[in-house]
């Protein structure tokens, strides 16, 4: 899917420099960054769900510890 991305000039300059150093395109950098972001967000969501599950499962233990 095609899309247009408008970047602030300073960010565009940074990406240009990084792309030059890596011998790649800004397009490739943005794809990599988006993949990393999506992966991180997915992992964060899973961790939060697990924390909620643990909190629910052990709510009585956590409450007793808080009262101790």
Per-residue pLDDT of the chain (68 residues; tens, 9 = 90+): 888 999 999 999 999 999 999 999 999 999 999 999 998 888 888 888 888 888 888 888 888 888 87
Task: Tell me, yes or no, if the pTM score tops 0.85.
Answer: no
Q: Which of 48, 15, 20, 49 is nearest to 34 (CA)?
A: 15
- In the chain, where are the structural domains located? 32-68
Judge contact between 19 and 28, C-beta under 8 A.
Answer: yes
């Amino acid at each position: 899917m095609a899309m247009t991305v408008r970047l602030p000039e300073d960010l565009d300059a940074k990406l240009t420099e990084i792309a030059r150093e890596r011998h790649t395109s800004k397009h490739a950098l943005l794809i990599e960054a988006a993949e990393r972001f999506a992966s991180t967000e997915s992992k964060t969501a899973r961790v939060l769900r697990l924390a909620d599950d643990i909190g629910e499962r052990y709510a009585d233990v956590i409450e007793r510890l808080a009262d101790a």
